[in-house]
Amino acid sequence: MASLGLYHLLFFLILQLSTGDDPIGQYCDNKSFKNNNLHVSINAVLADDLTAKASIGGFATTSSGHGDTLLYGLAQCRGDLSAEHCSACITNASKALPSLCPIQADERVWYDYCFMRYDTSNLVGDSDTSYALILYNVENATDPEEFDKEVGLLMSEVRAMAVKQENGGFGKGTSEFTPLVTIYGLAQCTRHLRPLTCAQCLSSAVEEYFAEYCTHRKGCRVLYI
Ligand SMILES: *[C@@H]1O[C@H](CO)[C@@H](O)[C@H](O)[C@H]1NC(C)=O
Ligand SMILES: *[C@@H]1O[C@H](CO)[C@@H](O)[C@H](O)[C@H]1NC(C)=O
Ligand SMILES: *[C@@H]1O[C@H](CO)[C@@H](O)[C@H](O)[C@H]1NC(C)=O
């Protein structure tokens, strides 16, 4: 496959924020170790480099090792997270990641507020929409047709925000559906993606999955890697 490229997209729509302590998803590519010293690179990427850097800026990529032990890492927090919460989330992710799928060379973990990944392939590149994690609320909205229309408008707004250069891939908004029901929308790409690539990825999430999984739902998220 041409693009084992970096990609992380968060796209969600929720009525209530969850507490965010446990991973909401994980992915193991079952790519086995070619060299046992890869553990050394994993530790370096996770502990020293990525956690420290991402905790400060909310986003980081890094690499460690060479040849068979060359490993790339990426971490990103939700665009509106404080440095303190970002650091806590990334720290948890870095601890969880190595044990989620042991001796695999491509692992990814999602939390509500951050995402972390490492891989022996270079993560910097095109978007990768080959694997999607979809989470939705099984409850349906009241007045679902109108609700879906409102969701569509809100998601267009937050997508437009996310692809503006100055917003660093992040867009968020709310809509007062009724006096008692507020709809929250959010779209996020990994920070270093070009706006056009970000726009294509967000559009793919909506076109490929929203109709099938999110129709009428009170909450729904599509996450790529
Ligand atoms: C990190 O993990 C600890 C222990 O499991 C948990 O109490 C804490 O809430 C987690 N923090 C985040 C931000 O996920
Ligand atoms: C990796 O292996 C696990 C456990 O055997 C399996 O559940 C998972 O689907 C595999 N992942 C891929 C991408 O093949
Ligand atoms: C919610 O709406 C979806 C999409 O129309 C439908 O498939 C599902 O059965 C509905 N669920 C409930 C609990 O009404």
- Tens digit of each residue's pLDDT (9 = 90 or more) over 198-221: 999 999 999 889 889 999 999 999
86 lines ligand 1 (CB under 6 A): no
Quick: pLDDT tens for 71-98: 999 999 999 999 999 999 999 999 998 8
Q: How confident is the model at residue 102 (pLDDT cuts 50, 70, 90)?
A: confident
Q: What is the mean pLDDT of the chain?
A: 85
For residue 139, how far is the Cα from the chain centroid?
A: 24
Q: Six-digit token pair at 176? A: 């007062």
Alpha-carbon distance 78 to 82, whole Å?
A: 9
Q: How far is the CA of 28 from the centre of ligand 2 (A)?
A: 6
Q: From 1, 4, 30, 101, give the residue whose CB has the most ligand 2 atoms within 8 Å, as the site to mutate.
A: 30
What's domain 19-125's architecture?
A: 2-Layer Sandwich (3.30)
Strand order in the sheet with 59-64: 25-28, 106-110, 114-119, 71-77, 59-64
Q: Answer whether 112's CB lies under 8 Å from 61's CB.
A: no
- How many other C-beta atoms are found inside a 10 Å radius of the C-beta of residue 29? 17
User: Does domain 133-224 bear CATH number 3.30.430.20?
Assistant: yes
Confidence (pTM): 0.83
Nearest CA to ligand 1 atom 11: 21
Domains of the chain by residue range: 19-125, 133-224
Same fold for the domain at 19-125 and the one at 133-224? yes
Q: How far is the CA of 21 from the centre of ligand 1 (A)?
A: 5
